Amino acid sequence: MNVELLKKICEVAGAPGFEERVRQLVIKEVESLVDHWEVDNMGSVITVKKSKNNPDEKKVMVAAHMDEIGFIVTHVDDNGFIRFHTLGGFDPKTLTAQRVIVHGKEDLIGVMGSKPIHVMTPEERNKNPKNTDYFIDLGMKADEVKELVSVGNPITRERELIEMGGCVNCKSIDNRVSVFILIEALRQLDEVPYDVYGVFTVQEEVGIRGANVAAHSINPDFGIGLDTTIAFDLPGAQAHQKITSLGEGAAIKVMDGSTICDYRMVEFMKQTAEKNNIKWQPEVLTAGGTDTAGVQRMGKQGSIAGAISIPTRHLHQVIEMANKEDIDSCIRLLKVSLETLDQYDWSHR
């Protein structure tokens, strides 16, 4: 596995609406792998790998979002401390004492600060933290901060990718691991029966915005979402709560909070995994959504849509973790699925 490429993809900054750095990295990787690429008005990268024999001009859209959860500067106070608003979902307790990068006129390392426990009242110690309890400390004088940082600047988490056992651990595994999977699948694809639109979308973490627009433009017949999913295979979790487990293979989505996957696509993926000895597990996620919803619903006729999910521990924290063998299974399942879509009976039955 090309861990060095995954490391670059995960570590580069790209908060929702500010995906320019990761977009340039994606373009550099994919421009030689596809027949055509373009950037739409929202900033999603739309690539096309054409079929050599596709008389009905059928299209399949694969969506992997480039953005990561982050923050945006809302205020710089007279002491140089920064207040912020979240871009995407955060569990406030995971912010304590974490390093971040404020992308002002230059990149500045900051730390999430909050009231020290030593001076908290008993009531404050016992309450759950809120995002508004935190501020960002750059360790700089106020006039220096105000010269370099403006309201509206994006902020991302600071954490490098490391390998741990059979896993990779980094900020932004959600969803840069899917960006990596889509790039590697495009690299490995042989002949495809239908035109493949590999789309690297923007602003998923704040409402599936890029995927909605791209699907409306492409109008795909088939759709495949690529995203992380919860692996709650941790101490204290009961079997029915796990959603997925690390090391048990690619997750084939049945549903999430925004999509009920087409039963035909679910069955096709299961059969494809079995025929090709690809390890897989089912995924039923009762809350949360992915680009799959946009791919399924925003084309003019809708699409036959499903999703391949990557089991991930510690989601929406700075230490998200995925298993390398699961990642490989996802690449293989996506590749073979795209190459054999025409070999399945897609009629309603």
Q: Is 320 known to be catalytic? A: no
The tens digit of pLDDT for each residue in 266-311 reads 999 999 999 999 999 999 999 989 999 999 999 999 999 999 999 9
Sequence-separated (6 or more) residues with CB below 8 Å from residue 123: none
pLDDT at residue number 124: 86
Query: How many residues does this entry show for the chain?
Result: 349
Concatenating the DSSP letter of every residue in 193-252 gives: SSEEEEEEES--TTTSHHHHHHHHHH--SEEEEEEEEEB--STT--GGG-B--TTS-EEE
pLDDT at residue number 116: 87
The CA-atom distances, in angstroms, between 282 and each of 40, 248, 269 are 33, 10, 10
Helix (H, G, I), strand (E, B) or coil at 13: coil
DSSP secondary structure code for residue 171 in this structure: T
DSSP secondary structure code for residue 140 in this structure: S
Q: How far apart are CA 106 and CA 129, in angstroms?
A: 30
Q: How far apart are CA 214 and CA 330, in angstroms?
A: 23
Q: How far apart are CA 118 and CA 106, in angstroms?
A: 34
Q: Are 252 and 332 in contact (CB under 8 A)?
A: no
Q: Which of 294, 321, 324 is nearest to 307 (CA)?
A: 294
Q: 68, 204, 283, 320: which one is catalytic? A: 204
The tens digit of pLDDT for each residue in 207-218 reads 999 999 999 999
Query: With the C-alpha atoms ordered 253, 43, 159, 74, is the resulting torsion angle positive or negative?
Result: negative
Question: HSE-up of 187 (CA within 13 Å, CB side)?
Answer: 15
Helix (H, G, I), strand (E, B) or coil at 265: helix
Give me the residue label for tokens 């950037």.
39
Burial class of residue 79, CB neighbours in 10 A (0-12, 13-18, 19+):
exposed
Give buried/exposed letters for 122-158 (b at 16+ CB in 10 A, else e): eeeeeeebeeebbbbbbeeeeeebeebbeeebbbbbb
Q: In the chain, which stretches have pLDDT less than 50?
A: none
Q: How far apart are CA 222 and CA 240, in angstroms?
A: 31
Q: Which of 19, 169, 161 is nearest to 88 (CA)?
A: 19
pLDDT at residue number 58: 98
Helix/strand/coil percentages in the chain, nearest 5: 30, 30, 40
Give me the residue label for tokens 């690449």.
331
Q: How far apart are CA 143 and CA 45, in angstroms?
A: 38
- Record the tokens describing residue 300, joined without a space: 């003019």
Beta partners for residue 141, in sequence order: none
- Taking the chain, what is the end-to-end CA distance rounded to the nearest angstrom? 40
